Structure 1
């Protein structure tokens, strides 16, 4: 994949190029230190992917994208600041990497590109609200002033809070303005299971299962959350998890 690195910091460009050496399918065909240089290279070289810094002298990364004539390359933003995540999402960014970039996060971003290339039918429209979301899908989450791009496989639990749903991942518990029912319709039922009226659990996160009252089950998730599976859902759970 023909790739262009756009960053005003030479050390940042060098470090990213070094990390990208781990991915043979990524062919770095050029570097630019500002938007004007990048626009000329984009026109001349027609890259398929940009690793794009946001804060740069002159035009910033968003202004650069707005100035591109014709079809824009795919974009992965690289920045030291998390406050631009909302705007990055509006520009249909594939990912949003915070500096210093870690190899495992870069690998997730590259895998996401490869998944899109292998399944182009899921690529458009990018905001298809009917698409079933699996553990490898990454979603944008905003709660107050905090923003995340989080892979759904890291979300161990979805908890209904009235008209909101609380997502449990790492040590974070942000709220999103969704009902649990609407969220259930979007999630892959082979990975995300409706345990009861208030909870959807991520099945690979289950650590222990115990019999519970009235034919129900009690599951303990990795991390310690204990969630009751209702009697009716316990029947479905056993069918789903049996050979």
Structure 2
């Protein structure tokens, strides 16, 4: 049976709130538990309700959506930001939001965002299961993070040894096109499948050759050859996925573009 996802809506625009509520009703796995037209009212109820997903407008009086996100401490739900202004996308992604949707929101775009939520929740559950499995086999002190290892004698093939679940697997660097960060875990998107491994973005960034890969924000490393276009502060990949360029990475990317290295 598909997991039921509890969600709330916070939007000061009545039409925007009604539209999201209408879309929620069209997806059986979503359950709306509350809705508010301002973020301050929502603050008092969030800890009690603890929804798994928050549909959050960015531009609101008294407290903006970004300010609302900053109030989260230990409890961090999946967040889908909605706004009519694309310039807020980068700021939102720096708070690790699940998705950012420009208004007016279409159902097709809404459905794609929900698929991202489901994928993240599924990966989080797998990560917890992996951690619990590790704790039962050895003390935490004996479970160091396993960095990717360049396989001796195979440098010409550019291979990495990656720990997946309880085994090590060999993957080709040339098969990797996107690395997505999820706290202490990574999703490595390859030509064949997605691999989840326990590792930090920093370690992966240090491991991948900078001639081929580029860190574009806190959560993503992309293969340069997979970049289709750069539109302002957004990178479009060959599969038409658009990702924001983080503020601290913009100058680096601009420099690479000026040199013709991207």
TM-score, normalised to structure 1, is 0.56
Give the structure 2 partner of residue 133 of structure 1. 189
Give the structure 2 partner of residue 19 of structure 1. 23
Q: Structure 1 residues 7, 106: closer, same or farther in 2, change over 3 A?
A: same
Alignment of 1:177-216 (within 5 A): none
Following superposition, the deviation at residue 131 of structure 1 comes to 3.6
Task: Report the RMSD for the aligned CA atoms in angstroms.
Answer: 3.7
Q: Residue 71 of structure 1 aligns to a residue in which SS?
A: coil
Give the structure 2 partner of residue 64 of structure 1. 68
Kindly tell me the number of residue pairs found equivalent between the two proteins. 163
- Looking at structure 2, the residues matched to 177 and 7 of structure 1 have their Cα atoms a distance apart, in angstroms, of 43
- Looking at structure 2, the residues matched to 22 and 134 of structure 1 have their Cα atoms a distance apart, in angstroms, of 32
Q: Deviations over 1:38-84 (max 9, x none)?
A: 11121221111100001100110111111234312110101110001
Alignment of 1:65-80 (within 5 A): 65-80=69-84
Q: Structure 1 residues 79, 54: closer, same or farther in 2, change over 3 A?
A: same
TM-score, normalised to structure 2, is 0.52
Which of 41, 47, 67 is matched with 2:45 structurally? 41
Gaps of 5+ in 2: 129-179, 195-218, 222-226, 242-251
- Looking at structure 2, the residues matched to 28 and 178 of structure 1 have their Cα atoms a distance apart, in angstroms, of 49
Q: Structure 1 residues 75, 164: closer, same or farther in 2, change over 3 A?
A: closer
Contact in 2 for aligned 1:116/1:122 (Cα 8 Å): no
- Looking at structure 1, the residues matched to 13 and 253 of structure 2 have their Cα atoms a distance apart, in angstroms, of 41
Give the structure 1 partner of residue 35 of structure 2. 31
Q: Greater share of helix residues, 1 or 2? A: 2
Contact in 2 for aligned 1:75/1:94 (Cα 8 Å): yes
- Looking at structure 1, the residues matched to 12 and 96 of structure 2 have their Cα atoms a distance apart, in angstroms, of 22
Following superposition, the deviation at residue 117 of structure 1 comes to 2.5
- Looking at structure 1, the residues matched to 185 and 258 of structure 2 have their Cα atoms a distance apart, in angstroms, of 16
Following superposition, the deviation at residue 139 of structure 1 comes to 6.1
Q: Structure 1 residues 86, 176: closer, same or farther in 2, change over 3 A?
A: farther
Contact in 2 for aligned 1:134/1:152 (Cα 8 Å): no
Q: Residue 189 of structure 2 aligns to a residue in which SS?
A: coil
Q: Structure 1 residues 18, 128: closer, same or farther in 2, change over 3 A?
A: same
Gaps of 5+ in 1: 156-162, 166-174, 181-243
Which of 90, 95, 107 is matched with 2:94 structurally? 90
